[in-house]
Each structure stands twice: as structure tokens, then as C-alpha cells.
Structure 1
């Protein structure tokens, strides 16, 4: 059963706690050691960045329930439709639109509390906030996939890589925390998969 209200509140609450602790740490270390206030890459001090992180935490707190008919599913598929239509009609980014459409089909092909409720997915999915900035900003994609080792070597040596990853880390953590709050409320985060399966068999 989807718990729409509990999950969006859970995502916001979890990220709020993280943000407050991280902000206090940032200010304290900056004052004590004389560091600039932007030394901590785990949070943004930009108002729009802060707002974006809270929105991301909320959305990722809802995301896992897209695999079942729910308010979360209706919301996300509406957003994905608008985004996909924009990629096709406005930006003419057909490859990205096709990949987004392919990804959008995956949750409804799985069982409820399948891969969308996996701890592995919790870690992997927010990494889009690390990968997409690299995809957008890295200038040497023209190398082509036929020379993948050369492309990877060039990417590792790219001077802009550390700053790009640093910029995405803030949003990655927001997504991770929101996702973790969902799994925690569902009783999955700190329970092994075997324990979950045993509980499911017991309840049958």
C-alpha cells in the first residue's frame, strides 16, 4: 500500500535533519579554522540550490512507489510525460527522449517492492545527478564509443571533472536521503532481503 503523505513528509524531515546538522558543521568549522563557508560540498548555500535539494529529497521519498498504482505513480508519470514531450517537441533530443521513455517503462514491469525498493537502487539512481552534469559539460564526447578506453581515459583526465562531481554531490545526497527515508518507512532499509522474504511468507 502506498503511503503518499508519510513518504513525502519522511523525505522532507530526513533531509531537513541532515541539512541542519551539515549547516551547523559548516559554520562551526568555517569559524574555527577560518575556511570559506563553501568548503562543504554536501549542502548548497545558494537559495535555489537549497530549494532544489529539498524538492529532490521529497521526490525521491515518493519515487519507489511508482511500481504500484498510487498517487506517486500518477505524479511521476505526468512529470515524465511532460519532460519527454519537451525533449521531443522543443529540444529535439530524440535519443534522450527514447532513453527516458525506456526507463519510464521499467517500474511498471516489475513487482511491487521489487527493484525500486532495493538498497542498490537507492544508491545508484541518485547518481544521475553526477552523471548528467558530466554528460552535459564534458566537451570530448566526439571521441565516440568505438574508442571507449580512450574516452574513459580522457574523461578521467578532464580538468573539470572534480568541480562537476562536487556540484552534483549535493543533489546526489538529497536524492539518497529521500530514497533512504522511503525504504526506512517501509521497513526495508535496515532489514536484509532474506528477512523481508521470511516476513512475507509468514504473512501469507
Structure 2
């Protein structure tokens, strides 16, 4: 089973390659900040399946989530901070290589990236779809690496 470094490297290679290919083929056009956000979402999703067990990947994931949560609180974005806290706790509800390592979770876990902006800001789903796809790509990379090794 690959460690967090292998998962991050695989996630970076696949997600970076996908973003580069989409840009090269003029399928997407995005600002550097949006591209960085998409890449970051993919890398976080790459680590998410292993947040259900004590590991360096879990520690890194939760350190990033805690930092984002503090920034949200400082910016008085309490609803988003609460939602992030709620979703970050979900892996604790299962055992290692349980539901977080399933293909259905790969499709369902990132859904809040589409549904929450629609609910709170009436954002069209198409605007959030790239973030959902980035998360599914990162998550899927983790599952494939675990299956191969």
C-alpha cells in the first residue's frame, strides 16, 4: 500500500497532467489562482481516503483543514467553517479501508463542492463542476494506486 508521499506524487502527476492537457487543448481557460485551487483540491482528495487511520497523510490533511478552518473563522465565514469541520470528521465514522476506500465514496464525497455553492449562493452547478472533477480525479488516483500496490 503506497504511503502519503506516493499518493501525493501520483495525485500531482495525474491531476497536473489532466489540467495541463485540458489547458493545452483549450477545453478550459482559468486564472492561475483557479488552476492552483483545482490542483489543491485534487491533492487534498488524493489524501482523503487515508484520513480514517493514524498516518502522516492524515496529519497533513487535518493540518491543512484546520488552517483553512481558522482562516474561514477569522473571515467570519462561520457556515463554511462549520461545514468543513463536519465533513472533516466523517472518516472517523468508519474503519480503515472501509467506506473511504470505495468507488461510490469517490463520487459522493466531493458532491458538496457542487451542492453547497448551489444552496448558499445559487451558483450554477457548471461553475463548480471543475472542482468536483478535480476532487474525483485526486480521489480516484488514490484508489487506483492502492489497487495496484
Q: TM-score, normalised by structure 2?
A: 0.83
2:112 matches 1:115 = no
- More relative contact order, 1 or 2 (CA 8 Å, 6+ apart): 2
2:122 matches 1:170 = no
**Which structure has the larger Rg?**
1
State the 1:81 CA deviation.
Answer: 3.1
The Cα offsets for residues 129-180 of structure 1, whole Å up to 9 and x where unpaired, read as 2122213312xxxxxxxxxxxxxxxxxxxxxx5xx22221111111111111
Alignment gaps of 5+ in structure 2: none
The Cα offsets for residues 106-134 of structure 1, whole Å up to 9 and x where unpaired, read as 21231111111111111112222212221
The answer for the alignment partner of 2:121 in structure 1 is 137
Conservation of the 8 A alpha-carbon contact between 2:2 and 2:146:
no
The Cα offsets for residues 69-100 of structure 1, whole Å up to 9 and x where unpaired, read as 1112112222333444555565272x555444
Going from structure 1 to structure 2, the CA distance change for 1:103 and 1:3 (only over 3 Å counts) comes to same
Alignment gaps of 5+ in structure 1: 27-39, 139-160, 189-204
Q: TM-score, normalised by structure 1?
A: 0.63
RMSD of Structure 2 on Structure 1 (CA): 2.4
Which runs of structure 2 are paired with 1:26-105 in the superposition (5 Å)? 26=26, 40=27, 43-87=28-72, 91=76, 93=78, 96-105=80-89
- The alignment covers a number of residue pairs equal to 148
